[in-house]
A and B are shown apart, each in its own frame.
Chain A
Amino acid sequence: GEDVEQSLFLSVREGDSSVINCTYTDSSSTYLYWYKQEPGAGLQLLTYIFSNMDMKQDQRLTVLLNKKDKHLSLRIADTQTGDSAIYFCAEILMDSSYKLIFGSGTRLLVRP
């Protein structure tokens, strides 16, 4: 089957912006999500975007959606050391199951 793809690793300096990218598979997905996982913890929903939008801003987070290219990105402004974590994008498969499928995850390391 197809995979939801993300780059494995991103390292940024504290105070810089981070951009995490995701290529998803189902062009008819209604909602797309970004989750954060800190070490030893479960996943935390950060934000989501409805498929009829191309941008959503939520405080330091900006989500961009390019439906034509099936590309989703998460920009974190003024990145802090507490943002160091693994970030997963996720899409809803629009077959009969409506399963939520997670991307491979991007490990973000924020250097002081």
Chain B
Amino acid sequence: DTEVTQTPKHLVMGMTNKKSLKCEQHMGHRAMYWYKQKAKKPPELMFVYSYEKLSINESVPSRFSPECPNSSLLNLHLHALQPEDSALYLCASSQEGPGRNEKLFFGSGTQLSVL
């Protein structure tokens, strides 16, 4: 199994809603990532979990809250988002994480629209 699975594929939410994005991998990778990608732009790093501990937080607003329940799962909890948060949210995993040959495996993403 060489897949990173993200759910849901599409999400529309209002500014007062609470929702969660989910990501799962069964490759035994020890690092998991959240990226945000706006249209026609490169992915921007949000968070990195390495061995289930948050190792990088790119000064992301607190309305985004990551969670890593175990080494295979990664969640992104969303609350009180703004329309400018609309984007493709990509999850990725790598075998060992930052500092090494960091070959990332990406999921297909969740296309988020905030109304």
Chain A interface (Cβ < 8 Å from any Cβ of B):
30-31, 33, 35, 40-45, 48, 50, 88, 92, 97-100, 102-105
Contacts and interface: CB of A to CB of B under 8 A. Distances in A.
What are the 3 closest A-B residue pairs judged by CB atoms, nearest first? A42-B106, A102-B42, A98-B98
A97 B54 CA distance: 12
- A contact patch SS: strand
B-side binding surface: helix, strand, loop or mixed? loop
A41 B92 CA distance: 12
A45 B105 contact: yes
Given A42-B4, A104-B42, A98 B104 contact: no
Interface in B40-99: 40-43, 45, 56, 90, 92, 98-99
A94 B42 CA distance: 20
Contacts of A45: 103-105
Contacts, number: 52
A31 B99 CA distance: 10
Given A50-B101, A98-B102, A104-B41, 20 more contacts: A35-B104, A41-B108, A41-B109, A42-B92, A42-B106, A42-B107, A42-B109, A43-B43, A43-B106, A45-B103, A45-B105, A48-B101, A88-B42, A88-B43, A97-B56, A97-B98, A99-B98, A100-B98, A100-B104, A105-B42
A48 B45 CA distance: 19
Given A41-B108, A42-B108, A44-B106, A99 B90 contact: no
